[in-house]
Each structure stands twice: as C-alpha cells, then as structure tokens.
Structure 1
Amino acid sequence: MPFITIIGRGHSGTRTMSHTLYTSGVYMGRTINASGDKVPPHDLYDACRIFAKYVRWTGGTSWDFSKALEMDIDPGFVEKVKTYLGDVLENSAPFRGWKLPETTLIYPWIVRMYPDIRYIHWIRDPRDGILAPHRTDDLGDFGIAYPDTADIRRQRAISWLYQYRLMKATPVPGHLVTVRFEDFVLKQEETLRRLEAYLGIPLSRIVVRPEAVGRWKKAEGALPMDLLGEALAELGYEV
C-alpha cells in the first residue's frame, strides 16, 4: 500500500498537494485542518525537539547535521513519530499519507524510519514563502539554535534556509519527486500527470490561484537576498 508524504516548509503551498491527495481518496489522517495538516501535531513537534538535540549550530547560518545523520535514531523519537502517525499506520486504505510542514525538520530520520515512502519534495520561491507567518519561523521553538534578529523576514529566511539545507543533507530516498508550487499552479495538468505517473493513482484537479505566484514582487519592504540568493539560483528561480 503506497505511503505518501510531502516535505516542504510551511507557506510553501503544501496545502495544495495535501488537498489534492485528500480529494483523490488518499487517507491523510483522522483529523485534518484547513491547511491540510494532520492534527493534533504535538507528538511530532516533540519529535522535532528530540532530533534538534543532535544538530550543532556552528555560527551564522551554518549547522552541522553529521551527528544526526550518522547516529542511531533516538528511541524516544521513534515513539513520538509512531504515536503521531498511529491512525495512518493502522488504517487499511489502499493509499495513505500525511502532511505537516514540521516533518521537514526531521526529514533525515523519517527517511530512515520509512525508506519506502513516496516522498514529494515541495518547493516554492522563498520570497513568497516568507511573506506570511508560520509556526516554524522561530526555530528556537523546536530546539534549533540560530542567529538572533529583530527582522521578521530575515528570521523566516533563516528558517527557510535551515530546512532547505537539511533537505539537501538528507540521503536521497528510493522514491522521490520534486514539485515546484509555481509549476503546480501555472502548469497544473502537466504537473499532475507527472505526479500520477510517480504515485500510480489518478489525482483530482483542485482550484488553484495564479495570483499566488510572485506575490513578493508587489510586497512592501526589503527581502533578505543575502540569505536567499544562492539557493534561489540553485532552484532555478530568477534572481
């Protein structure tokens, strides 16, 4: 039975994929909020804090993930994740999965616990993603050290950069597809056909809003391009 999860920072448009899966008959958990998140999230939040104990901040916007990548998974982490996913793991639906943006904070250990999952890497231009608040803006809430700043967009950019680098540091799982939010919105049919081939299931067509792409161009205030520029170029966005 294919098991699916979406990996991507909050406000990257992951709700779009979650709603697509849900309306296509994929069991996404007993309770899902308006953002398509499997809730309650508290056990997974606790798992994030356990993982963070093994990440070392080396100053600025640099973190050392080597210990977390090389060590045995903390048993307390396993317990918290299995408790959070209990209803999904026990369900007998032919297709199951979950979405919670904070899963990205523990991606390396999720891949090791569940190597056969169909992973969807969800990417969005971070200049759009940092315009609105999200629970992961303050990495310190999840036990992750980072440089102090009074600039909220800079704080969000640091959070985005941390998660982007953690995703890059994670060994590539056996099943992985990368989807850009902008492609899903502007080339929905083409993108859904690619996802259908990857997942092996027909997907519903939900309403998307083209105006959600490129909102940063009309936003007031400065954007921390010194933090985002290199990653934007790597991801193929125009800088």
Structure 2
Amino acid sequence: MTELTEIDEGAVSLQVGGQKVAGTLLSPEAPVPGFLFIHGWGGDQAEDLAQAEELARLGCVCFTFDLRGHADSGASKDEVTRQDSLDDVLAAYDYLASQPMIDEAAIGVVGTSYGGYLAMLLTALRPVRWLAMRVPALYPDEHWDTPKAMLDKDVVRAYRKQPHQAGGDRALAACAAYRGDVLIVESGKDEQIPREALLSMQAAFRQTNSLSHRIIEGASHAMRDPQHQRIYSTLLTGWISEMVRASRLTYR
C-alpha cells in the first residue's frame, strides 16, 4: 500500500568489517494527520475500527471512542444529553490533538448519524480540516438539555423532513461557517434520514473548500450489508487519501 505521508530521507554510513556501507534511512515525515471517529447513537467504537485501521496504515493517527452511555463508557444511556455527548467529543478531540506526532492543522473528523451531527457541532468549537459524515442526522435545538433518548421521535422526524436555512439550528449554523473539506455519504434506502435533511446540510455548506456527496445505492441507514460497508470504506479512504495528499502538495 502506498504511504500517504511525505518521507524524510537520511544518509546512513555503517561500518561493516572495516568497510563503509552506505545506506539511506526513510521514515514518515512528522507531524502527521489525525482523524477522530464518532459513532452513532446506539453504536460503539467497534464500528469504526476497520476504517481507522485503514487510515492508520496510510500514515494517519486515529482515535476511536465510546460516547457516554455506550459500550465500555460510563453513565446511563437514558440520562445522556446532547451536551454530554458534545463534551465527550470535545474531550476526545483534545486528546487526539495532544498526541506528539499530530499536526494540529491537519485534524479530520469522521462521524456517523448522530456522530455526524456531533461532528458538525464540533467544527464550531475546534479546528477541523476535513469533515466526513455518513448518513448525518439533524435535530432541532429545542430541548437541548433533555436526555437524547427522551426526545420526541415524531418531532425530530418532522423536523428532518422540512427544509431549513443555513442558520436554522446550531448544526446548520456550524456548517455555514465551516471552511474545510466535506464528504457526505448517503444511504440510498435510508429509513431515518430523509433527503430533505441532507439537502439542508448541503445548502448550508456555503464556504467550504470542497464538498463531495456520494450515494450508496440500496444501503440502509445502519448499513449492515458487508458489500455496502466495503463500498463505504473504499469511498472514505479514497477521499481522505486525496485530501491529505493535496494538503501535502500545497505546503511544499
């Protein structure tokens, strides 16, 4: 597999049997890009590990984690508010950014469903260079401090079916201010996120460096089909590889 990062070359001279052996040591150039993965509501970090491992092989530092109320993280799921989840995401981002090899100007976020919603909010609070979202969710701002599990599903469903302006809610306002690169991956048979919600998001991204939209035909919201998962993995790694390579060329 081709390395994503630039290579530092260093001349090496070894003494073997009284003779000089010339060599060249090649190692990835530091700092390197970092990527934070945010899983969806009801999911866990295990869903992101395959994609994170792919990016790690490409020379990126990746961090996956379980939101509060999920898997090995603490708290009761029924008590977790959106603010709690956002606090978790901020802590995870700060941990990733603190890693010694990380280029703080080259941090990307990959979010799924509720994780995509949190990723949009994160861009207003931390520097995010690349934003990749699969089936990103949208929620009204009302009842922000109500536990997420207790939100009225009919109200949320109706909200997603309505067109919204760029400043219509906190997530869309964050999209309107975002200036990085965006990838939105839609499921062709998504039973939870209607096309109207995705159109509102796309319309809100007015200042992005680039915006890519892909549809995985026949895929459901959860995307359990292994074939659809492979397609998504290929889309994600290909897009990130392209973005990071372009950023490296820009600063040469």
Superposition TM-score tier, normalisation by shorter sequence: 0.3 to 0.5
TM-score by length of 1: 0.40
Structure with the greater relative contact order (CA < 8 A, sep ≥ 6): 1 or 2? Answer: 1
Structure holding more helix per residue: 1
TM-score by length of 2: 0.39
